């Protein structure tokens, strides 16, 4: 299965600032997915990133708040902009395995906004 390196693993940020999270995959993938997991909650899909086109955002998420880059088939970034304490969550990237054998997740970024 794909191996995903995600960083930073955790960060504590001041409100009003921005944080960029990076995901590097060890193989080329068409789609990369970004999820948020709020404390005690399940995973919510933020957006889908396809190389060469703008990301597609789910209802409730907007590009100005969560800009995404996908410069090539192995890398993507998610930025959490103008952060507030409500953005404190775990953010995870994910890729769909070849042959449709499920999805693999990065190790996650635990973000705390103070």
Partner 1 sequence: QKEVEQNSGPLSVPEGAIASLNCTYSDRGSQSFFWYRQYSGKSPELIMSIYSNGDKEDGRFTAQLNKASQYVSLLIRDSQPSDSATYLCAVNREGGYNKLIFGAGTRLAVHP
Residue ranges that bind partner 1, judged by CB under 8 A? 31, 33, 41-45, 48, 50, 56, 92, 94, 96, 100-108
Helix runs in the chain, H state only: none
The residues, any chain, with a CB within 8 Å of residue 62's CB and separated by 6 or more, are: none
- Closer residue to partner 1 in complex, CB, 17/62: 62
Q: How far apart are CA 61 and CA 49, in angstroms?
A: 13
- Closer residue to partner 1 in complex, CB, 1/18: 1
Minimum separation from the CB atom of position 16 to partner 1 (A) = 27
The backbone torsions φ and ψ at residue 109, rounded to the nearest 5 degrees and listed phi first, read: -120, 115
- Closer residue to partner 1 in complex, CB, 27/56: 56
- Closer residue to partner 1 in complex, CB, 11/96: 96
Q: How far apart are CA 23 and CA 4, in angstroms?
A: 7
DSSP-derived secondary structure letter, 58: P
Q: How far apart are CA 72 and CA 67, in angstroms?
A: 16
């Amino acid at each position: 299965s794909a191996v995903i390196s995600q960083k930073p693993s955790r960060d504590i940020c001041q409100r009003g600032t921005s944080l960029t999270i990076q995901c590097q995959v060890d193989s080329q993938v068409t789609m990369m997915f970004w999820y948020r997991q709020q404390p005690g909650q399940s995973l919510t899909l933020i957006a889908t990133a396809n190389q060469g086109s703008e990301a597609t955002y789910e209802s409730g998420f907007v590009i100005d708040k969560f800009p995404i880059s996908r410069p090539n088939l192995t890398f993507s970034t998610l930025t959490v902009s103008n952060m507030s304490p409500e953005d404190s969550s775990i953010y995870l990237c994910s890729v769909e395995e070849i042959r449709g054998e499920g999805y693999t997740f990065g190790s996650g970024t635990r973000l705390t906004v103070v």
